[in-house]
């Protein structure tokens, strides 16, 4: 997910308004990821619908939650939710150098669809630079 880092209360309000709009128009939207053992907020995931049968998903996690299986679990949950909601095609974007995310996507059955040059800013890297984006797809 390419959600920008919030730098102000207005940024957070804008994101909440966006999420409320998504949930008002579609059967799902942005979701938070919490650790089961203690309820700690780890990051976010969700479904961003393009049509009733096509959606995009992804995940963003706090750095100290990386490498612990949370991305794989969150992606599996989004696949299950998408299937339950009638989604037939699920896509996900990824930075070409983020090898751990590429492995997570491939482990969950996604295949590389295309490399889009200079299309996306990645807020956790250098948000002002457009960079290549890998788009993965999975049919359900």
- Average pLDDT over the chain reads 89
Query: What torsion do the CA atoms of 88, 131, 121, 89 make, to the nearest 10 degrees?
Result: 0
Q: Which CATH superfamily is domain 9-139 in?
A: Gcn5-related N-acetyltransferase (GNAT) (3.40.630.30)
Supply the pTM of this predicted model: 0.86
Q: Tell me which of 94 and 111 has the higher pLDDT.
A: 111
Residues 6+ apart with CB under 8 A from 94: 58, 101, 102, 105, 133, 134, 135, 136
Query: What is the average pLDDT across 8-24?
Result: 91
Domain ranges of the chain: 9-139
Local structure of 35: helix, strand or coil = coil
pLDDT tens per residue across span 43-91: 999 999 999 999 999 998 999 999 999 999 999 999 999 999 999 999 9
């Amino acid at each position: 997910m390419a959600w920008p880092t919030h730098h102000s209360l207005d940024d957070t309000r804008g994101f909440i308004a966006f999420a409320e709009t998504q949930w008002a128009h579609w059967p799902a939207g942005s979701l938070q990821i919490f650790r089961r053992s203690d309820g700690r907020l780890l990051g976010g995931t969700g479904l961003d619908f393009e049509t009733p049968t096509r959606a995009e998903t992804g995940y963003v996690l706090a750095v100290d939650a990386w490498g612990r299986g949370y991305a794989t679990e969150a992606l599996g949950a989004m696949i299950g939710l998408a299937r339950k909601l009638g989604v037939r095609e699920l896509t996900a974007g990824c930075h070409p150098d983020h090898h751990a995310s590429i492995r997570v996507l491939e482990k969950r059955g996604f295949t590389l669809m295309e490399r889009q040059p200079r299309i996306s800013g990645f807020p956790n890297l250098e948000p002002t630079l457009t960079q290549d984006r890998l788009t993965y797809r999975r049919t359900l």
